[in-house]
């Protein structure tokens, strides 16, 4: 397997040193994030601390948001795997409505577990990475909606609406400067209202 499979991934395999640098940069970014907070995690500082050049940092991540995106993607890969081929009700095998509810719970849990990073990503003056419309979420929700009998409805737009309805409260919670409620309590509330919304929308 060279670059023959055109379906996915970078056409060329990453060069060895590049891959090593990416690893190193992500690790360093994690350190700095935990140690200094998101504001002090600047491109220059990351370059210097990792002992690499500024250009390298930008080539790897493209933009500042790319760093946080990369940090999130690390975990997101595992998450998506669970969704696509994990056990029900999250994975295949359960009724689509149950999967829809479970997906929301899982996403809420995932983002709350990584809330430090997720918050950093939208912290400051930066474009929202997955915030506005994470395409993976939308695609999956759209797919599940197609398996539910909803009568006449624009499923594509409904999927966008539900994705937004799932992310909206999360973003609101994450962007709140003072997190009034405990994560557990919030997870409960967010999950409950997601379940309530989905049930309301999908009942016959």
Bridge partner residues of 92 (DSSP): 94
Of 18, 84, 172, 179, which one interacts with its own copies (CB under 8 A)?
Answer: 172
List the single partner that 196 binds among DNA, its own copies, none, CB under 5 to 8 Å by kind. its own copies
Sign of the four-CA dihedral 44, 46, 49, 52? negative
Per-residue binding string, DNA, 118-137, x by CB under 7 A, is: -------x------------
Residues 160-185, buried b or exposed e (16+ Cβ, 10 A)? eebbebbbebbbebbeeeeeeeeeee
Q: What is the dihedral of CA 147, 150, 154, 159, to 10 degrees?
A: -60
From CA 53, how far away is CA 68, in angstroms rounded? 19
Q: Is 44 in the site for DNA (CB under 7 A)?
A: yes
Per-residue binding string, its own copies, 173-202, x by CB under 8 A, is: --x-------------xx-xx--xx--xxx
The answer to whether 186 touches 173, Cβ cutoff 8 Å, is yes
From CA 43, how far away is CA 141, in angstroms rounded? 35
Least distance CB 52 / DNA (angstroms): 3
Restricting to residues 44-83, name those near its own copies by CB under 8 A: 63
Restricting to residues 115-144, name those near its own copies by CB under 8 A: 122, 125-128, 130-133
In the complex with its own copies, which residue's Cβ is closer, 23 or 132? 132
Question: Could you tell me which residues come within 8 angstroms of residue 137 by beta carbon, excluding any fewer than 6 positions away?
Answer: 103, 107, 130, 163, 166, 167
Q: Could you list the residues that contact its own copies (CB under 8 A)?
A: 63, 122, 125-128, 130-133, 153-154, 157-158, 160-165, 167-169, 171-172, 175, 189-190, 192-193, 196-197, 200-202
Q: Could you list the residues that contact DNA (CB under 7 A)?
A: 12, 14-18, 20-21, 39-40, 42-45, 51-56, 58-60, 63-65, 125
């Amino acid at each position: 397997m060279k670059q023959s499979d055109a379906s996915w991934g970078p056409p060329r395999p990453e060069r060895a040193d590049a891959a090593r640098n990416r690893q190193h940069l992500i690790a360093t970014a994690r350190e700095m994030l935990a140690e200094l907070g998101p504001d002090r995690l600047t491109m220059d500082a990351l370059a210097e601390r990792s002992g690499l050049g500024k250009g390298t940092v930008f080539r790897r991540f493209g933009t500042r948001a790319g760093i946080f995106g990369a940090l999130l993607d690390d975990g997101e890969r595992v998450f998506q795997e669970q969704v696509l081929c994990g056990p029900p009700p999250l994975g295949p095998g359960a009724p689509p409505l149950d999967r829809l509810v479970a997906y929301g719970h899982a996403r809420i849990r995932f983002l709350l577990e990584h809330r430090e990073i997720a918050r950093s990503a939208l912290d400051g003056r930066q474009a929202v990475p997955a915030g506005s419309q994470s395409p993976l979420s939308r695609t999956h929700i759209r797919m599940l909606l197609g398996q539910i009998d909803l009568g006449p409805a624009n499923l594509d737009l409904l999927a966008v609406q539900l994705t937004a309805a799932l992310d909206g409260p999360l973003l609101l919670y994450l962007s709140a400067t003072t997190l009034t409620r405990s994560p557990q309590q919030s997870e409960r509330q967010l999950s409950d209202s997601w379940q309530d919304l989905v049930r309301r929308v999908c009942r016959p």
